[in-house]
A and B are shown apart, each in its own frame.
Chain A
Amino acid sequence: MSTTSAPTQNQIEPARPSLRVDREITFRAVVILAFLAIVMFLLPSVLGSDWIKTFTSVAIYSVVALGLGILYGRVGMISLGQIGLLAIGTWTATRLNYAFHLPFPVLLLLTGAITCVIGTLIGLPALRLSGLYLALITLMAAGAVNIILSAINFPNGGGGFTGHTTAVDLSGLAPVRRPAGAAGDTAYYRYVVVVCALMFLLALVHLATKAGRAWASIRESEPSALASGVNITLYKMWAFALASFMTGIAGGLLASQLGQPTIYGFPIQDSLTLLAVVLIGGIYSLWGAVIAGSFMQLVPFIFQAEWNVNANFLLIIFGAGLLQVLLTAPGGLADQVPKDLAKLWRFISGPLRRGAPA
């Protein structure tokens, strides 16, 4: 960036936009790095163990929200089955954990790959269906997954495909392993944050390249995308594969976070709540996914454990927030808050500037 050399009058005009883009990217990178630094180093040093466990869940659910954000916000394909997919990921990771002694990253990747295949299969109807019908079929798939997993139970060290034993004495059963060197809650929290940051990076890379452009054109108008030569089948399936892979990784992380997961951690209601918080957080922004993860895990914790307020209030707030987003603020909080802050700043700084000498 040689911005110090004295430019001639002609050079100034074209140079400005690129300078601005550079500044914006630098600013964003600084914000993201500062955010990660606070999340990884400041939070564990000031917060207790319960908070750290909650923040681990926030990071995991942010990735689930990110998956839904890509599907609905970027490609325009709705899915109400993401919590069902998360349950599949968690089940798979638990099963693999008791069946083999794989290194943790391999286990995670394998879980991601298996969930990716299942999620893509569930997403196949998206090639034919859209809008309301796609929402319904994914909700129904999630409901069916929920019932199947309730019937076969989560693995608890038994044999066979399901890995579930009804033995009464499970005292010798070790919980799902955590990565080597990250057995403690704080160490595991940092590990989870790093993996989740990688997932966000993966999403960012997709959005900034060919796939992101193809998705945008599909979202705007499928016939025009088709006419301009976008392979709709490929890119739709790609989006489902990516979202499912991410959700699978999140499931793998969740299995180790919970230790002994059960189906009760994945009620159908959560699929609806997830959609609400993702829309409230901001479906068109990656920050929206972080906000959604916080709404899903951190806010209930604060309500219940810290303020002793009935967490059901949150559902009422989510419902009202969802109506608000649908009717007046389609960009959600991630879009609305900066705008409102800028307005507020203009409101405050306006009189000051007017008062200043010209």
Chain B
Amino acid sequence: MHSLVGFAILGVDWQELKPFIVLGLALGGAYALSGVGIVVLYQTTGVLNVAFGAVGAAGALIAYWMIHHTSLSQWIAYLVCILFGGVVNLVYGVIFGPAFAKRDPLVKMMGTLALALILLGTMGWRAPAGGAFVRFLTLPTTNHRYEIFGASVSLTQIIALVFALVLTAATTAFLRYTSLGTAYRAVANDREISATLGVPVRRVEASAWFGSGLVCGCAGLLLADLYTSLDYSALTFLVISSLAAALIGRLRSLWATLAGGLTVGLVQGLLTPYGRVTEYRAATPFVLSIIALLWLSRTRVVTISRTAQ
């Protein structure tokens, strides 16, 4: 299928690459979305939440169950999915956040690992996957398709990308111009001094947990649709792609995280049509985050006092 204006990139026709670019950008948007949620939470509380994917997957499973086993409107199901993310994160943050507050970032991360294991176990028990039974969660927006630059794009894919852009911009503005945003930045800088100055540290942290949880629910919903099927185990480990995005943003810059997420999605998508490497495309987030980590560690500082993070 060669079009008249077609040109080939490494032996693959440009026209054939288009759908993969669309797919890659949409997935990249969802990765970036989660990445931004992860970075904001990490900056405020010092917790790198590796349960992000598990919470999103659990929310999506609940939405799936509500759509198929209750007579409620599917929009309520989606709302419940998003709220579930917020509530689970909030509950974890309120109960365990203060207990872990003075610990090493690694220990904080392991705490969320425990949350991920609990959620994985619950999902495996209540909603076992496997066999011929496959769940699909198709958002109604997926049926609206548009033709953009000759490629067919679904509304869900557009939402994923636009939402990522909007969230990044909105979060940046929120951190800069609102008083709560200033409190976030103060807590990120130094928790103890902020507390001394009268910043309600626990409430600020709780709001960060809740906010990032809402993002987590949205990302779970979008990924359950964009990623061919609702496979809770795969969705749980899609957090690795978001971590890659967050690491490219040095766990600090929101715009770099956005760029990182889009890059991971795009590279993964573009590798698909290349027969020789297509099997390895799933390694993209791993390889990119290894590169990002090595880049981060190119200079080494021996820290004797407590770390500022």
Interface residues of A (CB under 8 A from B): 78, 125, 128-129, 131-133, 135-137, 139-141, 143-144, 147-148, 150-151, 221-223, 226, 268-269, 272-273, 275-276, 279, 310, 312-320, 322-323, 326-327
* A326 B111 Cβ-Cβ under 8 A: yes
Closest to B282 in A: A147
Within 8 A of A (CB), among B110-130: 110-111, 113-125, 128
Given the known inter-chain contacts A272-B117, A313-B125, please indicate yes or no for A144 contacting B297, CB distance below 8 A. no
* B286 A273 Cβ-Cβ under 8 A: no
* A322 B110 Cβ-Cβ under 8 A: yes
Given the known inter-chain contacts A148-B280, A315-B120, please indicate yes or no for A310 contacting B109, CB distance below 8 A. no
* B114 A326 Cβ-Cβ under 8 A: yes
Contacts of B195 in A (CB 8 A): none
* A144 B48 Cβ-Cβ under 8 A: no
* B293 A125 Cβ-Cβ under 8 A: yes
Q: How far is the CA of A310 from the CA of B120 in the complex (A)?
A: 13
Chain B: how many interface residues by the 8 Å CB criterion? 49
Q: How far is the CA of A128 from the CA of B303 in the complex (A)?
A: 12
Q: List 16 A-B contacts (CB under 8 A).
A: A125-B297, A128-B297, A129-B293, A129-B297, A143-B285, A143-B286, A147-B283, A148-B283, A269-B237, A316-B118, A319-B115, A319-B121, A322-B114, A322-B117, A323-B111, A323-B114
The minimal Cβ–Cβ distance linking B240 to chain A, given in whole angstroms, is 6
Is the CB of B287 closer than 8 A to any CB of chain A?
yes
Q: How far is the CA of A223 from the CA of B293 in the complex (A)?
A: 23
Partner of A151, one of B100, B111, B237, B280: B280
Contacts of B110 in A (CB 8 A): 275, 279, 322, 326
* A312 B125 Cβ-Cβ under 8 A: yes
Q: Mark B274-296, 1 if CB is under 8 A from A, else 0.
A: 00000110110111011001101
8 closest cross-chain pairs (CB), A and B: A315-B121, A319-B118, A319-B117, A312-B124, A316-B121, A151-B279, A322-B114, A312-B125
Closest to A330 in B: B107
Q: How far is the CA of A290 from the CA of B110 in the complex (A)?
A: 22
Given the known inter-chain contacts A316-B118, A319-B116, A323-B111, please indicate yes or no for A140 contacting B105, CB distance below 8 A. no
* A141 B113 Cβ-Cβ under 8 A: no
Is the CB of B161 closer than 8 A to any CB of chain A?
no
Is the CB of B106 closer than 8 A to any CB of chain A?
yes
* B121 A144 Cβ-Cβ under 8 A: no
Contacts of B103 in A (CB 8 A): 326
Contacts of A133 in B (CB 8 A): 293, 296-297
Contacts of A319 in B (CB 8 A): 114-119, 121
Is the CB of B302 closer than 8 A to any CB of chain A?
yes
* B286 A136 Cβ-Cβ under 8 A: no
Q: How far is the CA of A320 from the CA of B113 in the complex (A)?
A: 10
* B289 A136 Cβ-Cβ under 8 A: yes
Is the CB of B136 closer than 8 A to any CB of chain A?
no
Q: B interface, by DSSP: helix, strand, loop or mixed?
A: helix
The minimal Cβ–Cβ distance linking B103 to chain A, given in whole angstroms, is 8
Given the known inter-chain contacts A140-B286, A312-B125, please indicate yes or no for A132 contacting B48, CB distance below 8 A. yes
Closest to A139 in B: B240
Contacts of A222 in B (CB 8 A): 302
Is the CB of B300 closer than 8 A to any CB of chain A?
yes
* A137 B293 Cβ-Cβ under 8 A: yes
* B96 A323 Cβ-Cβ under 8 A: yes
Additional pairs, 11, CB under 8 Å, beyond known A140-B285, A322-B110: A144-B283, A144-B287, A151-B279, A223-B302, A275-B113, A312-B124, A315-B120, A316-B118, A316-B125, A326-B107, A326-B110
The minimal Cβ–Cβ distance linking B90 to chain A, given in whole angstroms, is 17
Contacts of A150 in B (CB 8 A): 279
Q: How far is the CA of A326 from the CA of B300 in the complex (A)?
A: 28
Q: How far is the CA of A211 from the CA of B167 in the complex (A)?
A: 51
Closest to A130 in B: B106
Closest to A320 in B: B118
* A313 B121 Cβ-Cβ under 8 A: yes
* B115 A141 Cβ-Cβ under 8 A: no
Partner of B293, one of A140, A221, A272, A315: A140
Q: How far is the CA of A132 from the CA of B297 in the complex (A)?
A: 12
* B114 A143 Cβ-Cβ under 8 A: no
Contacts of B293 in A (CB 8 A): 125, 129, 133, 136-137, 140
Contacts of A141 in B (CB 8 A): 286, 290
Contacts of A315 in B (CB 8 A): 117-118, 120-121, 124
Closest to A80 in B: B113
* B113 A276 Cβ-Cβ under 8 A: yes
Is the CB of B216 closer than 8 A to any CB of chain A?
no
Is the CB of B152 closer than 8 A to any CB of chain A?
no
The minimal Cβ–Cβ distance linking B41 to chain A, given in whole angstroms, is 14
Partner of A135, one of B106, B123, B128: B106
Contacts of B279 in A (CB 8 A): 147, 150-151
* A131 B104 Cβ-Cβ under 8 A: yes
Contacts of B72 in A (CB 8 A): none
The minimal Cβ–Cβ distance linking A278 to chain B, given in whole angstroms, is 11
The minimal Cβ–Cβ distance linking B293 to chain A, given in whole angstroms, is 5
Is the CB of B189 closer than 8 A to any CB of chain A?
no
Closest to B127 in A: A312
Q: How far is the CA of A136 from the CA of B120 in the complex (A)?
A: 20
Closest to A124 in B: B294
Contacts of A318 in B (CB 8 A): 114, 117, 121
* B113 A322 Cβ-Cβ under 8 A: yes
The minimal Cβ–Cβ distance linking A71 to chain B, given in whole angstroms, is 13
Partner of A140, one of B122, B289, B297: B289
Contacts of B282 in A (CB 8 A): 147
Within 8 A of A (CB), among B67-126: 96, 99-100, 103-107, 109-111, 113-125
Is the CB of B247 closer than 8 A to any CB of chain A?
yes
Within 8 A of A (CB), among B239-282: 240, 243-244, 247, 279-280, 282
* B286 A144 Cβ-Cβ under 8 A: yes
Q: Mark B172-215, 1 if CB is under 8 A from A, else 0.
A: 00000000000000000000000000000000000000000000
